[in-house]
Structures are given as C-alpha cells and as structure tokens.
Amino acid sequence: MSPTVGLIVNPVAGRDIRRLTGGASVSSNYAKRRTATCVLEGLTMTNNIEALVMPDSAGLADRIVDGAPDELVVDLLDMTVTASGEDARNAAKWFSDEADVVVVLGGDGTNRDVAHSIGDVPVVSISTGTNNVVPTAVDGTIAGTATGLIATGAISADETTIRHGTVEAVVDDGTGERHIRGLATLGILDQQFVGTRAILDPEDVIGGVVSRASPKEIGLSGIAGGLTVHRPDDPGGIGFRLGTASEPAQDVHAVTVPGVLSRVPVEKYRVLDEGEPFEFDVSSGVISADGERDLEVRDASVRLRPVSDGPRLVDIDAVLERAADEGFFRVE
C-alpha cells in the first residue's frame, strides 16, 4: 500500500481584521494554491506517494487537485463540507487513521482544529494565517520534500518530530464546567463579547497561560517570551497576569499584533509544571484561544493548565539535514 499524505488547506486563514489594524500580510487563496502545488511537487522527490486533499466550499481544493504534478496520484478526501473549523477537525480525524503524514496550510486556529483529532500522525505545519506562532514560514516545495521523506520512512519520524504542548481551560460558572483547549495560548480578556474574534489591544488582556514563549513570537506567547523562554516541547508552560501601567511589577516589550510593538505591564508570572493550574476569577470577560476570542464568561472561576499532549510537529530542517547526511540528494 502506498504511503498517504493528507493535505488540509484552510481557505479562510489569514483574512481577519488584523490585516486592517496591524501589519499582518494577506494570504490569498491564490497564494495558498501555489503553496499547496509546491508541496505536491516536493512529494515527487520520493516515489509511490498518494495525496488526499480536504475539500472546501471555495473550490480551492479542486484547483489544487487539477494542478497537481502528473506523476503524483492526488484526489479529494470524501467528506461532507461544513465551511467551518469542523472541516479541519473531521479531515484530521480521518487522516489520524489513514495518513502517514499530514500537511496543514493555515494559521494557529487551523492547527488547533487539526490538533483536536490528529493523534500521533506527524504534522507539517506551513504558515498561511494571521497571527502565527505554531506554523512555520517555509517554501512549500521544501516542506513537501520533507513530508515525502517522513511518509515513506526514508527518514525516521521519531527522530525528527517534537510533541507540542497545549493549554486546557476549565470554566466553572456555577451551572457546570466547560472545557476549552488551546494549542499555544489561552488568554483571559477584559471584553464583553467575542465580536470580531481578533485580539487587537493588549490593554484588553488580563492574563493567560501559554505552552510556549519566545520574544520572537507574536501575541500572548510573545508577552510571556519577554519574561522567559519556553520551547514548544518543554513540559509545562508559563502563567501570567498583567497589571496597570501605573503600578506594574515590571514592563516587557512585545509584538502584540503584527506591526505593533507594545510596552506591557506585568503584575506577576510563574513557570508552571505539567498540569499545574493558574487561576482567574472573572466577573465578565472572554477567553481567547490561540489569538482568537472564543468564549464569553460571567461570574466564573477559570483554571488554566499546560498539558503536554499536543500534535507531533515535523522539524523540517532536521529532516532535510539528516537526509543530506545520508546521501539522499546525491545523484550518481
């Protein structure tokens, strides 16, 4: 049986309001199609691979299949389209049983949807979203080459993937518990409504927990990264609560929205062990997941905790360097 590569392309990734309020770049469907075509071209470096593309209501997947290299078997995944994040979750669930590797074109939200049900299948994540922390900005052909090497077993997935952490929230408002999962970040916002979903003003942020932190990242993980570095596969995470500009414990500089450098007052922060809770009492607010406002809460106790059970992300550089060392690219 031929190795199978799943391709999940989100046609609405990279189109939120941060394109207007900040310096985020636009990711058009034409650009996504070109990147996907490059991924398929990269797969031709290895032999006997089949690819299945998640269908969508925009017809993007149909054009990707039509433009695929002649020497590659590419078809649409047979599934019902809902034109929502449910599509990525449903496709990931199917691929978790049937695919050897999955390539995701989208932002943090798309990767969170995939992470819900992808299980242990290695994921190659390519950035085409807005406020990206998890996906990698990489040429599609390079990513496709690495994908083929993993799918065929030419390079070991065990030696070239990391297990990304996640963050869980338990919300108790007296009527029962609700649960939310974030891939890189969960935040508590001083907002009444979900609204446009995008987090536009750092003054709206009360605090949060992140599974990764670096000053080179954007949003909540960038704020935490101004305090300490926490790698995506490090166990645990970082919890923090912001203060007021008049009486902060300390300030950090962070890129809170693409093109926006902010000075953020921090009241406290703590490095969290695996499963250790960081708690907030919220009279009225919104919980954000991976840069998007997700759930309105009232008079609630919110417990956030890092959990190391996220997707297996492929380290593209590690795959290609190992392949070069083993002579894969040499032509006799």
CATH at residue 59: 3.40.50
- Is 105 in the same domain as 89? yes
- Is 188 in the same domain as 101? no
Banded pLDDT at 198 (limits 50, 70, 90): low
CATH at residue 184: 2.60.200
Residue 207: beta bridge partners?
Answer: 188, 241
Dist. CA 148–CA 221, nearest whole Å: 31
Residues for the chain: how many in total? 332
In a domain, 93, yes or no: yes
Tokens 């242990």 belong to: 120
Return the number of other C-beta atoms located less than 10 Å from residue 20's C-beta.
9
**Position 187, amino acid:** G
pTM beyond 0.85: yes
pLDDT score for 237: 98
- Is 173 in the same domain as 274? yes
What DSSP line would sit under 121-150, residue for residue?
S-EEEEE-SSS-SSSB---HHHHHHHHHHH
| Residue 245 DSSP symbol | S
Dist. CA 85–CA 54, nearest whole Å: 12
Q: How far is CA 199 from CA 44, 80, 239, in A?
A: 40, 31, 18
- Is 229 in the same domain as 279? yes
- Is 16 in the same domain as 154? yes
- Is 94 in the same domain as 14? yes
- Please answer whether residues 110 and 84 qualify as being in contact, where contact means their C-beta atoms are separated by less than 8 angstroms: no
In a domain, 23, yes or no: yes
* Number of structural domains found in the chain: 2
pLDDT score for 192: 81
In a domain, 57, yes or no: yes
Tokens 């299949």 belong to: 65
pLDDT score for 18: 46
Using CB atoms within 10 A of its CB, is residue 190 exposed (0-12), middle (13-18) or buried (19+)? middle
In a domain, 332, yes or no: no
Q: pLDDT digit string (tens) for 306-323?
A: 999 999 999 999 999 999
- Is 57 in the same domain as 46? yes
- Is 187 in the same domain as 296? yes
- Least confidently predicted of 20-29, 126-135, 198-207: 20-29
pLDDT score for 307: 96
- Is 227 in the same domain as 116? no
Q: What tokens appear for 144 in the block?
A: 């496709």
Q: Is the pLDDT of residue 279 over 90?
A: yes
In a domain, 259, yes or no: yes
Q: pLDDT digit string (tens) for 142-195?
A: 999 999 999 999 999 999 999 999 999 999 998 889 999 999 999 999 988 776
For a pLDDT cut of 90, what percent of the chain falls above it?
81
- Is 88 in the same domain as 207? no
In a domain, 148, yes or no: yes
Dist. CA 117–CA 93, nearest whole Å: 5
Q: Mean pLDDT over all residues of the chain?
A: 92
Write 71-78 long-range contacts (CB < 8 A, 24+). 71/44, 72/40, 72/43, 72/44, 73/2, 73/49, 74/40, 74/50, 75/50, 75/51, 76/52, 77/6, 77/52, 77/53
In a domain, 130, yes or no: yes
- Is 59 in the same domain as 129? yes
- Is 170 in the same domain as 158? no
Q: pLDDT digit string (tens) for 225-236?
A: 999 999 999 999
For residues 201 and 35, the model is more confident at 35
Q: What domain range is 18 assigned to?
A: 4-163+311-325
Dist. CA 90–CA 52, nearest whole Å: 14
**H or E element in which residue 60 lies:** helix 60-66
Q: Is the pLDDT of residue 197 over 80?
A: no
